[in-house]
Amino acid sequence: MEFAILIVPLLLMLFGVTEYGRAIYQYNTLSKSVRDATRYLTTVSPGNGHTEAKNIVVCGHINCGGISALAPNLNQGMVKICDATTIADCPGVPHSAVPTGISSVNLVTVKIVDYEFKTLMNFSIGGVTIGAPNITFDSIYNTMRQPL
């Protein structure tokens, strides 16, 4: 009898922990892909390699032909790149000739905006939604030095 009473809260906790783990895993995957794309852009001159960098973020490779996205519903429209030539997606943040005290450097920033983690525990019964809400991640971004 006690087990019958406790099984529902225990199952809810189990599914909650599982969904939380999935969210952390997806966030970590996206964070690593943004870092890899930023690292790639540090090897090319400003204004070059944006398409390849977006492919690295979305599918983990320079060419996405036939490769699925690293995270569900992730697309190139969510990827923003700011460098010395394109700063529209990072207003107010200097990326060209940033002084360092000794000389100056260019910066490059890659970020993912408006990515929503969709939970598996969200369903409707009789018009009533039951389960965990979807989570929209804050911007996931990385900034590194780029060649002048």
Tens digits of per-residue pLDDT, 30-79? 999 999 999 999 999 888 999 999 999 999 999 988 889 999 999 999 99
Using a pLDDT cut of 90, give the percent of the chain over it: 49
Query: 3-state DSSP call for residue 96?
Result: coil
Q: Which residues contact 74 (CB under 8 A, 6 or more apart)?
A: 30, 57, 58, 112, 115
pLDDT at 106 over 80: yes
Spatial contact of 41 and 108, defined as CB atoms under 8 Å apart: yes
User: Which of 41, 39, 57 has its CA nearest to residue 49?
Assistant: 41
pTM score of the predicted model: 0.84
For 122, other C-beta atoms within 10 Å of its C-beta total 13
More confident call, 41 vs 9: 41
Q: Quick one: DSSP state of residue 128?
A: E
pLDDT at res. 97:
82
